[in-house]
Amino acid sequence: MTDSSQHAVEIVGVTKTFAGTGSKRAKSQGDGTVVALDDVSLTVSPGEFVSLIGPSGCGKSTLLRLIGDLDEPTAGTVSVFGKTARQARIDQDYGIAFQSAGLLPWRSVAANIELPLALHRFGARERRDRVAELLSLVGLSDFGDKYPEQLSGGMQQRVAIARSLAEKPRLLLMDEPFGALDEMTRERMQSELVRICAETGAAVVFVTHSIPEAVFLSDRVVVMSPRPGRIREIVPVALGDDRGELLREDSRFFAGVTAVREALHGAPAASAVRGVESR
């Protein structure tokens, strides 16, 4: 085993360019190619919660897609648990959830959660037991027979999260999963995600637009800048294992929010003394 197998995710010198004018991910260069990510390196430890935050076009979603092997890097390497991203995808080493729940409207809630298990030919009994377990984990035990259209947006997103956990992945990739939810539902979902992560021990790479969300959830917040997409700063937050609702009014939480905000917008004059790590 090489040293890199210690990491859940290891990204080394990754660059991603999109050819032509089709992409809106980042600013285009003279010849029409778009540099979405420029020489990005990042490691995520097993069980660690890492958020990617930054303005539109900073390549945070692209980075997540590279980890999941939904796109391939132009240069550099992405490894997941010491394997190539492609092999990790084929081995189903990660679960994934998107901003849109992406449930299949013609399948019941239970059948949607069961989908990855059915595709990978798990036995009927195992599937049924696992679905029941996941429904209770996301608090939807009474809704297994319902159809997605009968559920609220927050409930649909909980189904999508249950589905991403179906095969007990050691890595969760989440692309703004709470982006379309109202603020109250969002905070409740965040608390649930903290609990679910504690129960499953999975590493998480979490893309978000929201500073408080990133601070509340993360061990580390990766602040990115656009045009071309680069990591500007990595802010360690790690507010501990006991993250109840009170934490949202805790001074450590506010300090984290301030630190991430300053990293995003550049340090204001008053706190210019703070060292900003620039890459």
Binding site for other proteins (CB under 8 A): 65, 68-70, 89-90, 92, 94, 96, 98, 100, 102, 104-106, 115-116, 118-120, 147-149
Q: Which residue lies nearer to other proteins by CB, 158 or 230?
A: 158
Residue corresponding to tokens 């991430």? 260
153-164 vs 183-200: helix crossing angle, rounded to 10: 20
Count of Cβ atoms closer than 10 Å to residue 100 Cβ: 15
Q: Which residue lies nearer to other proteins by CB, 1 or 106?
A: 106
CB of 119 to other proteins, least distance (A): 5
Q: Which residue lies nearer to other proteins by CB, 75 or 90?
A: 90
- Least Cα distance to 101 among 178, 190, 166, 165 occurs for 178
CB of 52 to other proteins, least distance (A): 17
CB of 69 to other proteins, least distance (A): 8
Q: Which residue lies nearer to other proteins by CB, 100 or 210?
A: 100
Q: Which residue lies nearer to other proteins by CB, 68 or 154?
A: 68
Query: What's 271's DSSP letter?
Result: G
Give SS3 for 151: coil
Structure tokens at 141: 């035990």
CB of 265 to other proteins, least distance (A): 31
Contacting residues for 80 by C-beta, under 8 A, at least 6 apart: 8, 9, 10, 67, 88, 93, 94, 171
Q: Which residue lies nearer to other proteins by CB, 91 or 183?
A: 91
Written as one letter, the residue type at 268 is: P
CB of 47 to other proteins, least distance (A): 21
- Least Cα distance to 158 among 195, 118, 210 occurs for 195
Q: Which residue lies nearer to other proteins by CB, 10 or 69?
A: 69
CB of 138 to other proteins, least distance (A): 18
Alpha-carbon gap, residue 172 to 176, rounded angstroms: 12
Q: Which residue lies nearer to other proteins by CB, 57 or 116?
A: 116
120 within 8 A of 167, measured Cβ to Cβ: yes
Q: Tell me the backbone φ, ψ of residue 233, rounded to 5 degrees.
A: -160, 150
- Least Cα distance to 100 among 182, 156, 166, 23 occurs for 156
CB of 107 to other proteins, least distance (A): 8
Left if phi > 0, otherwise alpha if psi is -120 to 50, otherwise beta: which for 238? left
CB of 168 to other proteins, least distance (A): 15
